């Protein structure tokens, strides 16, 4: 087994709800214009220490996320 670390980012419930609403509206607008939806970009401003990190959708701050560094084990062949 090989040990490595992973960064796990979890949006809180309200932030997830806002993201899904905004991303859905953006995608629907593109579909209505007969365009393939382009997807969306979120930005996580990671705060140091135990503080929650800010989440933005485009230029709009939509809420908070927790960021955790966790140890993972993977099999090596």
pLDDT at 36 over 70: yes
Cα separation, 19 vs 37, whole angstroms: 15
Write down the domain spans for the chain: 2-74
Contact criterion met (CB below 8 Å) for 9 and 65:
yes
The model's pLDDT over 43-65, given as tens digits with 9 standing for 90+, comes to 999 988 777 899 999 999 999 99
pTM: 0.75
Helices (H) and strands (E) in the chain, counts: 1, 4
Q: What residues have CB less than 8 Å from 62, skipping those under 6 apart? A: 15, 18, 19, 22, 42, 55, 56
């Amino acid at each position: 087994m090989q040990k490595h670390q992973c960064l796990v980012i979890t949006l809180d419930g309200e932030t997830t709800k806002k993201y899904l609403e905004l991303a859905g509206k953006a995608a629907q607008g593109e579909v209505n214009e007969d365009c393939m939806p382009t997807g969306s970009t979120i930005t996580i401003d990671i705060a140091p220490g135990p503080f929650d990190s800010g989440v933005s959708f485009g230029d709009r701050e939509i809420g908070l996320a927790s960021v955790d560094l966790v140890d993972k084990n993977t099999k090596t062949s």
